Amino acid sequence: MSHLAESSTPSRKRSRWEQTLDDADEQLLQARESLPPKRRSKSKTQASRLADSSHTPPLPTGPLAKPLVPSARPRHSIYAPPRILYPSFRPARSVYNYERLNQIEEGSYGVVFRARDKQTGDIVALKKLKLDEEKHGFPITALREVNALMACRHENVVNIREVVVGDTLTQVFVVMDFIEHDLKTLITLMPAPFLQSEIKTLMLQLLSAVSHCHYHWILHRDLKTSNLLMNNRGTIKVADFGLARRYGDPVGVGGLTQLVVTLWYRAPEILLGATTYSTAIDIWSVGCIFAELLLKEPLFQAKSELELISMIFKLLGPPTSSSWPDYTTLPLAKSITLPPQQPHGAALRQRFPYLTNAGLDLLSKMLTYDPEQRITAEEAMQHPYFKESPLPKHPDLFGSFPSAAAGEKRRKPFDSPSAPQRLADYKLITEFDLP
């Protein structure tokens, strides 16, 4: 355990890119870039060698762009079928293709910067993944994050542009489209909650993204308002796939890790020790997000897992043999004393006095104890709540807000638990087979 804790210590080495570039640095960089390739090759690191394109034909921007024009000689063995699923692999570009503008946030697993693409002028976000100092190689969570983002391309999922490297191979940055807000900061800074019509639009977008991920066999496992980005055109983008994983594959001994989902958004089956769980855990989190949009504050602000379980039981009543038939089989169920029964749905109605019956029905279907009975993202999108008045607002009609991430307004500090520790880092890489 201590070994794991020790090995998850993030890399402290900062690339030159992360430090402010003054004029002298810029000149040095330019001078270095203008050196002939032969002289450079002596001192360069493995990373810059990877990023160096001097020995290859000019690349289109981003490793995810279309493959280069095929040469006369086939690049693959004539005995192996050609690679059709992915563009051919090519070296990662250097982070120095971007001009650093400002640091947006330092999360638990990465520092996020706003930057400008020197070639196109596009404003982007760069998330520097916290990697070990080459102790364990490239961690699986970093691979999962990149892989899941690529597998889940969707209008409501943040767009990954490429992966670039810094001065060494432990400095890896994911380049994404820059999105002006995260929902957590926005909710905290807004004077009034979103309108019902706006909440419906945001929820439909979120459900559409979640349904898309689930359709592609990806569990997000850390849905929360700070991982939902929103642009100034009223569009939600699900981000932070650092805890995501593929589901449906056989799982190893010991099952899936329970160290997933930030506490306030964690489903009861995980809290009670289930080692097999599925898409329903994301829907529970979506229910908590729905409630947070309505209340303008998180639904379950618990300090510990035990406090969270007791808060859930208080709001929804204790589970029964019909509401959750498998409850008694869960590892931690026996150690919990259930509170007395209460009138069905009374506490939930009391907490959301202004929500329509249809809205309350959708919320309680998302916050259903039994994962088997919990509504799916696909079903939720068809719920009558979205068809009753007021109808979902067109995203274009959303007002725009000053962007804290772009430094237009000072970020307001808020107190919320961080994502669980990624012990999964050190699991075998075969657990997440490339799709």
Ligand X SMILES: Nc1ncnc2c1ncn2[C@@H]1O[C@H](COP(=O)(O)OP(=O)(O)OP(=O)(O)O)[C@@H](O)[C@H]1O
Question: Does 239 help bind ligand X (rule: CB under 6 A)?
Answer: yes
What does 198 bind: ligand X, Mg ion, none (CB cut-off 5 to 8 Å by kind)?
none
Question: Does 359 help bind ligand X (rule: CB under 6 A)?
Answer: no
- Of 10 and 107, which CB lies nearer to Mg ion in the complex structure? 107
Question: Does 112 help bind ligand X (rule: CB under 6 A)?
Answer: yes
Rounded to 5 degrees, what angle do the CA atoms 25, 31, 32 make?
A: 90
Q: Is 396 a catalytic residue?
A: no
Q: Residue 346 Cβ, how far from ligand X at the closest point, in Å?
A: 34
What Å distances lie between residue 429 and 32, 85, 118, 143, 161, CA to CA? 37, 21, 35, 9, 24
Please tell me what DSSP assigns to residue 109.
Answer: S
Question: Does 139 help bind ligand X (rule: CB under 6 A)?
Answer: no
Please check whether residue 243 is in contact with residue 420, taking contact to mean a CB–CB distance below 8 angstroms: yes
Q: Of 55-63, 237-245, 300-308, 349-357, which part binds ligand X (CB under 6 A)?
A: 237-245
Classify residue 18 as left (phi > 0), alpha (psi -120 to 50) or beta: alpha
Q: Which of 180, 174, 166, 20 is nearest to 112 (CA)?
A: 174
Question: Does 162 help bind ligand X (rule: CB under 6 A)?
Answer: no
Q: Of 107-115, 186-194, 199-207, 251-259, which part binds ligand X (CB under 6 A)?
A: 107-115
- Of 144 and 374, which CB lies nearer to ligand X in the complex structure? 144
Q: Site size for ligand X, by CB under 6 A?
A: 24
388: its two tokens:
């009753």
What does 234 bind: Mg ion, ligand X, none (CB cut-off 5 to 8 Å by kind)?
none
Distance (Å, rounded) from C-alpha 297 to C-alpha 162?
35
Please check whether residue 262 is in contact with residue 222, taking contact to mean a CB–CB distance below 8 angstroms: yes
Cβ-proximal residue to ligand X, closest one: 107
Strand duo 93-94 + 160-165: pairing: parallel
Burial of 77 (0-12, 13-18, 19+ CB in 10 A): exposed
Please tell me what DSSP assigns to residue 89.
Answer: P
Classify residue 164 as left (phi > 0), alpha (psi -120 to 50) or beta: beta
* Options 108, 323, 342, 364; binder of ligand X; rule CB under 6 A: 108
Instruction: Match 């006095």 to its residue by tokens.
Output: 353
What does 109 bind: ligand X, Mg ion, none (CB cut-off 5 to 8 Å by kind)?
ligand X
- Of 172 and 363, which CB lies nearer to Mg ion in the complex structure? 172
Q: Residue 241 Cβ, how far from ligand X at the closest point, in Å?
A: 8
φ and ψ at 39, to 5 degrees? -70, -30
- Within 10 angstroms of residue 90's Cβ, the number of other Cβ atoms is 17
Q: What track of x and - describes contact with ligand X for positions 411 through 430 (by CB under 6 A)?
A: -------xx-----------
Q: From the candidates 222, 240, 282, 425, which is the catalytic residue?
A: 222
Q: Of 16-24, 94-102, 202-210, 235-243, which part binds ligand X (CB under 6 A)?
A: 235-243
Q: Of 31-39, 108-116, 248-256, 384-392, which part binds ligand X (CB under 6 A)?
A: 108-116
* Options 63, 110, 166, 298; binder of ligand X; rule CB under 6 A: 110
Distance (Å, rounded) from C-alpha 227 to C-alpha 238?
6
What does 179 bind: Mg ion, ligand X, none (CB cut-off 5 to 8 Å by kind)?
ligand X
Q: Of 6-14, 65-73, 176-184, 189-197, which part binds ligand X (CB under 6 A)?
A: 176-184
* Options 10, 87, 91, 107; binder of ligand X; rule CB under 6 A: 107
Contacts of 420 (CB under 8 A, 6+ apart): 243, 259, 260, 261, 262
Question: Does 125 help bind ligand X (rule: CB under 6 A)?
Answer: yes
Q: Which of 133, 170, 147 is nearest to 8 (CA)?
A: 133
Question: Does 182 help bind ligand X (rule: CB under 6 A)?
Answer: yes
Rounded to 5 degrees, what angle do the CA atoms 422, 423, 424 make?
A: 85
Instruction: Return residues touching Mg ion (CB under 5 A).
Output: 107, 227, 240
Question: Does 156 help bind ligand X (rule: CB under 6 A)?
Answer: no
Question: Does 176 help bind ligand X (rule: CB under 6 A)?
Answer: yes
- Of 227 and 257, which CB lies nearer to Mg ion in the complex structure? 227
Question: Does 105 help bind ligand X (rule: CB under 6 A)?
Answer: yes
H/E run at residue 128: strand 123-129
Question: Does 167 help bind ligand X (rule: CB under 6 A)?
Answer: no
Contacts of 241 (CB under 8 A, 6+ apart): 144, 145, 148, 149, 152, 218, 220
Question: Does 183 help bind ligand X (rule: CB under 6 A)?
Answer: no
Catalytic residues: 222
What residue ranges bind ligand X (CB under 6 A)? 104-105, 107-110, 112, 125, 127, 158, 176-179, 182, 226-227, 229, 239-240, 242, 405, 418-419
